[in-house]
Structure 1
Amino acid sequence: MHKILPVILYQLTACLFIEVVIIAKLVVMGDSITQGWDGHKQVDNPIPNELGKLAGFDKVENLSVGGTTMTGSKGLPSQVRSVNFADYDYALISFGTNDYWQQSESLQDMQNGLQQAINKMREENPKIQILITTPIQGWENNTNSLDQKNTMGVSQSDIDDMILSVARLNNLKVNDWRNNPIVTSDNYKLLLGDQMVHPTQATMDLMANRYFQAFFNGQKVTINQDDQPDNPSEPDHQPVVLEMASVSGNWLGTFNDNFQKIFQALVDYSTDDNRSIEWQKKDFKMLNRGTYVYLVKTFELIKQVVDEFLGSEDIYDDNFDEVNNSGIIVPHTLIVAELIEIANQNFKKLQNIIGSIQQSY
């Protein structure tokens, strides 16, 4: 277990949880492919239905809506708002096709929408198992390569890579269709009902079976009975997600929310009870000298604690490169736009570092 300087921030209270899941339920969020559109008609057995049969789910709720995206009005945000995830054991997310073809979203917009959806699911049900898949390759508008950019400068591979990144950050099970794809350049005219993007019924059945293997190892879902108390001495490994601040928003509030998440994560991974570093949250309405001093000292404190930890422990990133220092920049500016830009860069670095620490724990 890694040792770092403990941060005295909260009094943590242990809770006892006893959970008995009587039946297994799956909720699916997606576009026309999981809705069951084959390019000409709605099929009788969409992918979620077949997956439910294979995995033995007692209930499958399919919220998918054709033509939707990760941030669209009837897409992922709307579908997430329409359901109480406390009622489900598993959730499958399948978007990305329309995000590429509609050419209306930046990659960052997609990522933010996806992460916000995951956050809401876990807020409503911390025990839910979230599954995610990249979209199958499409050939609409004479596109013949996963690397071909749309007018937003985004390729199908860019979307796939973003989904994988979010999955790794949140410790989700993920299926990447680029690995041993079912639909390829050689067979897409046969396997896609419209010869562009929508799979036939037979292809949907093959896709459901692939999900069954990728997400459930080809095994039926079993009743989960956990009557053991949670161990209060161990962190729950829930990914730390830091929000990006904006000039038009409550950026000081965002800063403080992120500071609390960072310090709480450091508390979770502290084992040395002999030393402490104190930090106290302060609320400000505007940027003035007092706010400036508070922000500088807070970033200095975070940099000190994280750098000391990284200097004493072997932590590696997703590329298996050793992380030796945080790279945090302490902002020394009273220009709001510059301050926010520097802070957001720090928050991105810290989110990745904390994720690497959690994986190494």
Structure 2
Amino acid sequence: MAKLIVLGDSITQGWDGHQQVSNPIPTQLGKLAGFNDVTNLSVGGTAITGPKGLQTQVRQANFADYDYVMIAFGTNDYWQAQETIKDMRYGMQQAINQIKKQNSSITMLIVTPMQGWEIGATSLDTPNSAGVTQNQIDDMLMDVAHANGAKSYDWRPDPLVTDQNKAIMLGDQIVHPTQSTMDLMAQRYFRVFFNGQKISDSGDSDHHHVIIPTDPTDKPHHVDPIMLELVSSSSGLLGTCNGNFKKIFQTLADYSFDDDYSIEWEAKSFDKLNRAAYVYLVNSFKLVKRLVDGFLDEEDVYDDDLNEVSGSGIVVPDTLDIKVFIVIANDDFKKLQKILNQIQQSNV
């Protein structure tokens, strides 16, 4: 029976900037990877050293009872500006030494924090009042992980959150991820640390060791979230639908494992919303539903509750009432935007 314990701050605790979420990252990762038990000792507002931080959390557990430990600190170490890099490194090493003393065979997972915009930071190189940057903290964490033979993940080469999308990815637009962003983080950890495979009940972790690419060309490229437009009026119905259809079909083609995957669809324009335009739109929605449902049946895509998605829930808007048609179409596009981003993140 494999067990995971997580040591961290408010990010892994599950604070979204406004409230505690129902499915924090450790819970979701545990479900994805198939852990029999997940213990989350994360405490909001904590740093590597100091009250309730990493060293305090280490003292609260018996690591002989666990197979994996994840350490996720650094966010508060930056904005609180109470530690030097030397202090942080020493605190990390002391904690790791204690963990190894209790369980020399435990698999250790160390992650950097994602970029934050606390204290007016404009980049990872903005120093805090102690002269420490987020880049320096991240470098230190990766150095410590490497020195101790730990598995590690650095968010910098392929970030989920950027200047461009932080307003929708962070609940407070500063540092705390939304539930949806936490979903994506858990999925990323699942792929990086466990190769997207559930661990065996035997606790044999050797099969799941991950080789982190050292060649920058081998690292995944950052991809922005896929955004679908909503129809705002009958005059914009056709153009908005055509633009969304193109994004939907392109995403399916980009992430299909079938090299011969192709979609026979051509955008059409009409001078007015006549019978021909109606038939075209209905048939296009039918094609979208069939292709997306088929894709979800063949690929591993998870919803926000970490259940595998087996159907899109798309409803074909085949009504002649244009106002009702637009309402149904917009509801479909909201569902599709969520599904497309889940597909994209499952293949990053």
TM-score, length-scaled by structure 2? 0.58
2:28 maps to what in 1? 50
| 1:223 aligns with one of 197, 201, 205 | 201
Residues 1:113 and 2:91 are matched in the alignment: yes
Structure 2: distance between partners of 1:201 and 1:162: 28
5 Å matches for 1:31-50? 31-50=9-28
Q: Which has the higher helix share?
A: 2
Structure 1: distance between partners of 2:173 and 2:190: 25
Structure 2: distance between partners of 1:37 and 1:146: 22
Q: How many residues align?
A: 204
Q: Please, which runs of 5 or more residues in structure 1 have no aligned partner?
A: 1-22, 227-361
Structure 2: distance between partners of 1:225 and 1:98: 33
Structure 1: distance between partners of 2:97 and 2:119: 34
Question: Any idea what SS the aligned residue of 1:112 has?
Answer: helix
1:225, CA displacement in angstroms? 6.7
| 2:108 aligns with one of 130, 137, 140 | 130
5 Å matches for 1:133-148? 133-148=111-126
Residues 1:166 and 2:144 are matched in the alignment: yes
Structure 1: distance between partners of 2:147 and 2:119: 33
1:104 maps to what in 2? 82
Structure 1: distance between partners of 2:3 and 2:55: 20
Instruction: Write the letter of the residue equivalent to 1:71.
Output: T
Structure 1: distance between partners of 2:118 and 2:153: 22
Structure 2: distance between partners of 1:140 and 1:118: 28
Instruction: Write the letter of the residue equivalent to 2:112.
Output: T
5 Å matches for 1:249-264? none
Deviations 1:255-312 (A, max 9, x none): xxxxxxxxxxxxxxxxxxxxxxxxxxxxxxxxxxxxxxxxxxxxxxxxxxxxxxxxxx
1:181 maps to what in 2? 159
State whether residues 69 and 106 of structure 2, in contact with CA within 8 Å, keep that contact through their aligned partners in structure 1: yes
2:302 maps to what in 1? none
| 1:93 aligns with one of 55, 66, 71 | 71
Instruction: Write the letter of the residue equivalent to 1:46.
Output: P
Deviations 1:176-198 (A, max 9, x none): 00021101111011100000000
Residues 1:198 and 2:176 are matched in the alignment: yes
Instruction: Write the letter of the residue equivalent to 1:122.
Output: K
Question: Any idea what SS the aligned residue of 1:174 has?
Answer: strand
Question: Any idea what SS the aligned residue of 2:7 has?
Answer: strand
More divergent stretch after superposition (213-222 vs 49-58):
213-222
Structure 2: distance between partners of 1:82 and 1:220: 28
Instruction: Write the letter of the residue equivalent to 1:85.
Output: F
Instruction: Write the letter of the residue equivalent to 2:163.
Output: S
5 Å matches for 1:306-325? none
Structure with more relative contact order (C-alpha pairs < 8 Å, separation 6 or more): 1
1:265 maps to what in 2? none
Q: Percent identity at matched positions? A: 62
Deviations 1:112-170 (A, max 9, x none): 00011111111001110010000000012221100111111110000000000001101
Structure 1: distance between partners of 2:191 and 2:167: 25
State whether residues 16 and 172 of structure 2, in contact with CA within 8 Å, keep that contact through their aligned partners in structure 1: yes
Question: Any idea what SS the aligned residue of 2:185 has?
Answer: helix
Structure 2: distance between partners of 1:141 and 1:207: 24
Question: Any idea what SS the aligned residue of 1:105 has?
Answer: coil
State whether residues 2 and 203 of structure 2, in contact with CA within 8 Å, keep that contact through their aligned partners in structure 1: no
1:223, CA displacement in angstroms? 2.9
TM-score, length-scaled by structure 1? 0.56
| 1:73 aligns with one of 42, 47, 51 | 51
| 1:82 aligns with one of 47, 53, 60 | 60
| 1:152 aligns with one of 130, 133, 143 | 130
Instruction: Write the letter of the residue equivalent to 1:126.
Output: S
Question: Any idea what SS the aligned residue of 1:167 has?
Answer: helix
1:302 maps to what in 2? none
Deviating runs (4+, > 4 A) in structure 1? none
Question: Any idea what SS the aligned residue of 1:29 has?
Answer: strand
Q: Please, which runs of 5 or more residues in structure 2 have no aligned partner?
A: 205-348
Question: Any idea what SS the aligned residue of 2:152 has?
Answer: strand
Structure 1: distance between partners of 2:97 and 2:203: 25
Structure 1: distance between partners of 2:42 and 2:53: 8
1:320 maps to what in 2? none
RMSD: 0.9
Deviations 1:25-55 (A, max 9, x none): 0000000000000000000000000000000
